[in-house]
Structure 1
Amino acid sequence: MADPQAPARTAHEAGAAAREAAVERALDGLGLDAKTRLLAGQDMWTLPALPEIGLASLVMSDGPIGVRGVRWTADDPSVALPSPTALAASWDPDLARRAGVLLAQEARRKGVHVLLAPTVNLHRSPLGGRHFEAYSEDPYLTGRIGTGYVAGVQSGGVATTVKHFVANDAETDRFTVNNLVSERALHELYLAP
Structure 2
Amino acid sequence: MGALTEAGGGADSERYRISDGLSVLFALQRALGGRHSDRTPAWAEFGFPVIDRGKYAIFPLAVAPAQVAAVGDGVGAGLLVEMADRLRRDCVHLFGGDFFHRELELAVEDGYGRKLVEAGAVVDGTPWECLWCIERFGVVLAHSVDRRQAQETLALHIVPKDWVHYRPFGPGTKREASRYRRAVRERDAADVVWSWPPRAAGG
The TM-score normalised by the length of structure 1 is 0.23
Q: Determine which structure has the larger helix proportion and give its number.
A: 1
RCO comparison, higher one (Cα < 8 Å, 6+):
2
TM-score in terms of structure 2 length? 0.22
Higher-strand-fraction structure = 2
Larger gyration radius, structure 1 or structure 2: 1
